[in-house]
Structure 1
Amino acid sequence: MPRVRLLPWLLILALVGCGTSPTREDMSYHVRPVSVSGDFAGAPGVYAFIERMRRHGYPPERTAAILSGARLQPSIIDLMDQQSPRQATGPSGAWTRYRAKFLSEDSINNGVAFWRRNEVALERAAARYGVPPEYIVAIIGVETRYGGFTGKTRILDALATLAFAYPRRAEYFAGELEQFLVMAKEENLDPFALRGSFAGAMGLGQFMPSSFREHAVDHDGDGQRDLWNPSDAIGSVANYFRHHGWQPGEPVAVPAQVRSVASAHAMKTGFKTRYGLNELASHGITPMRPLGRAEAVSLLELDAQGGYEYWLGLKNFDVITRYNQSTYYAMAVHQLAQAIRSRKGGLDGGRVSSTW
């Protein structure tokens, strides 16, 4: 019976196609196997992305349906453009203002409270991954106020907007959108339901989808990696640090004594710099505390109110910058971690951290 029903249609198609049959190249150019509706219909890169998802087991119809349900968010593009760094022409106290956003009394106290609520998970992560609890807590504090604000933007909308309507970084965000859909499939999650930052970061630790797939762990053993769950977020941040080379028991950053601020200011600074101690000493720059096993350090300049501050960054400082490539960000995490450790140690009579 099926063969009888199909035969007339085959004959009609053969007759219609006589003499005007398009070439294979024409077919591939003019005919799309699926269509995308909505805000991203016809957007550059959409059909290439649909084809790209085939290798992950996504049928074109499924990918097209997902993209058809995504919504363009122009405000995200505005926010991304605002991220461009502004060059300071001289001392402005920028570090002091930045630091104040994260090291308020409330932030320190809330960090201590988060630590107490999640003490078991933090100590287990410290034992397994070698990362002190205070640094895990500080990352979560800086990123989401200890889980108080993980973002309200649909991840799908954020990543689709940046992949198909933000040419400057389209390649990167198309890759993250790809990782997001693979993650949703692997974890059996609804891609329309997940919410996070305007750049597509998720959970208490604000992992991008690629970081989720590579570093997220099931720290509480319930069979699912859930970065909105404090225990899994704690284990995942610690695993991320370990993967990037965290050195247990080693310092993070130490203040530097500078003989001449003008001389230090003339040097190249930032977390990507590398100086030997003898070279720094020749410029009148010496560490104010022991450096552990470090043989090379970065020279960090902080534009503080009242004048420049100088610090020496070690391997663990560099690890923090893998989370966010900013000297100020990493230093805020470091100093918040130390403040939380000190406050909790004072209140609980606990040990003093061996890292600085």
Structure 2
Amino acid sequence: MKILKFIVLSLCLSVASICSADYSEKPQVADFIDLMVDKHQFKREQIVEWLTAAEYQTSIVKAMSRPAEKVKPWHEYRKLFVSDLRIKRGVEFWQEHEASLNRAYEKYGVDPAIIVSILGVETNYGRNTGSYRVVDALSTLAFDYYHSIEKRESRKKFFTIQLENLFLLAREQKKDPLILKGSYAGAMGWGQFMPDSYRDYAVDFDDDGLTDIWENPTDAIGSVANFLSKKGQWKKDQPVATRAHIKENLNTDGLNKMRKPKKTIADMEEQGFIPAQNYAKDSLAFSMMLSGKYGDEYWLGLNNFYAIGRYNPRIKYAMAVYQLSLMIGEQRCEVIETCDSSK
């Protein structure tokens, strides 16, 4: 199966013209066009025009095939995001947008350090919001990559839904979908929201009549907080994660996946995971293992760690956000000469 996948992928990369025919003419796209016309009352010629303009991107296929979360061990992945420069910029961003971050904390209960950290990990505080046309990314993934290479129906459906929401978002925001830019996966703006998340969770946090996370950091702050509060079920002033020690000969299989916490700290201790910090025994948690530079690291993730995981379900991503938030909070405390890093 892996050999077949490699052969098909190689063909698509080397013979781009085969994989990049007019999307509006592809058989697998006909149902999508009908959906946009029948369900959402778009004009057929408008959808056809947009899909005709969409272009297959080989670099998107390459990027999706080797995401950093999969190919890099934790200690290398961490260095991509938890750096002195990103910490410094995070403190500066916090100082500049302190009023908006405090307001988001009061309204949604989400720690400012986490909001700042997510914006830092996602786009380096708005410096890298993506250079791909979103319509190209989503068309490539929905109608080429996941359709013809991996045969993963759930992923094909996901990106088809995102393309549907992109066109709806463009109509609602009165924007041309052909000029919207984002990541190779189709995520947009300071907070890298997928189109459906943009429509569901982005907010007009400065009350200027526009919901703009492309260029408005205030809206981005409120939108990230709203997402974590509603989709992530973030719990105000509650812990995120803690290091853990394990008993000898403990079975550590399957500890590299994000899971919703369902077992209590007391249950985890009985299994052999001893938290480094003293949390309430009835707190729900799940165990995880990361490849550190000097050996495996064991952690317990609590509800708020899982909340970060609703943003991106990779353990490495959520841990990078968490650890960056701690470093930003600590350095900010030094700047303002107080150690209450949650405000």
Tell me the TM-score normalised to structure 2 length: 0.85
**Residue 60 of structure 2, aligned match among 61, 76, 87:** 76
Partner of residue 13, structure 2: none
**Residue 187 of structure 1, aligned match among 152, 157, 173:** 173
Query: Judging changes above 3 Å, is the alpha-carbon distance between structure 1 residues 339 and 84 closer, same or farther for their aligned structure 2 residues?
Result: closer
- 2:48 equivalent to 1:64: yes
After superposing the two structures, state which structure 1 stretch, 244-253 or 165-174, moved more.
Answer: 165-174
**Residue 344 of structure 1, aligned match among 332, 335, 339:** 332
Q: Which ranges of 4 or more aligned residues in structure 1 deviate by more than 6 Å?
A: none
**Residue 275 of structure 1, aligned match among 237, 256, 263:** 263
Total equivalences in the alignment = 313
1:224 and 1:353 mapped to 2: Cα distance? 31
Partner of residue 309, structure 1: 297
SS state at 2:277 partner: coil
After superposing the two structures, state which structure 1 stretch, 207-216 or 46-55, moved more.
Answer: 46-55
1:120 and 1:199 mapped to 2: Cα distance? 32
SS state at 2:25 partner: coil
Tell me the TM-score normalised to structure 1 length: 0.82
SS state at 1:162 partner: helix
2:255 and 2:133 mapped to 1: Cα distance? 40
Over alpha carbons, which structure has the higher Rg? 1
1:112 and 1:291 mapped to 2: Cα distance? 28
The alpha carbon displacement at 1:284 in A equals 3.5
SS state at 1:123 partner: helix
Partner of residue 199, structure 2: 213
Alignment map for 1:288-299 (pairs within 5 Å): 288-292=276-280, 294-299=282-287
After superposing the two structures, state which structure 1 stretch, 181-190 or 290-299, moved more.
Answer: 290-299
Name the amino acid aligned to 1:154.
R
- 2:212 equivalent to 1:233: no
After superposing the two structures, state which structure 1 stretch, 313-322 or 346-355, moved more.
Answer: 346-355
**Residue 255 of structure 1, aligned match among 236, 243, 268:** 243
Query: Judging changes above 3 Å, is the alpha-carbon distance between structure 1 residues 195 and 294 closer, same or farther for their aligned structure 2 residues?
Result: farther
1:340 and 1:41 mapped to 2: Cα distance? 47
- 2:162 equivalent to 1:176: yes
**Contact 2:290-2:298 at 8 Å conserved across structures:** yes
Gaps of 5+ in 1: 1-36, 88-92
For residues 253-292 of structure 1, give each alpha carbon's deviation from its aligned partner in whole angstroms, at most 9, with x where no partner exists: 01113332x4253575643164333333234322221325
The alpha carbon displacement at 1:293 in A equals 7.3
Query: Judging changes above 3 Å, is the alpha-carbon distance between structure 1 residues 74 and 269 closer, same or farther for their aligned structure 2 residues?
Result: closer
**Residue 127 of structure 1, aligned match among 99, 103, 106:** 106
Query: Judging changes above 3 Å, is the alpha-carbon distance between structure 1 residues 282 and 212 closer, same or farther for their aligned structure 2 residues?
Result: same
Measured on the aligned residues, the alpha-carbon RMSD in Å equals 2.2
The alpha carbon displacement at 1:50 in A equals 1.3
For residues 296-351 of structure 1, give each alpha carbon's deviation from its aligned partner in whole angstroms, at most 9, with x where no partner exists: 21112111111111111100000000111111111110010011011001111133
**Contact 1:226-1:233 at 8 Å conserved across structures:** yes
Query: Judging changes above 3 Å, is the alpha-carbon distance between structure 1 residues 122 and 40 closer, same or farther for their aligned structure 2 residues?
Result: same
Query: Judging changes above 3 Å, is the alpha-carbon distance between structure 1 residues 199 and 284 closer, same or farther for their aligned structure 2 residues?
Result: closer
SS state at 2:189 partner: coil
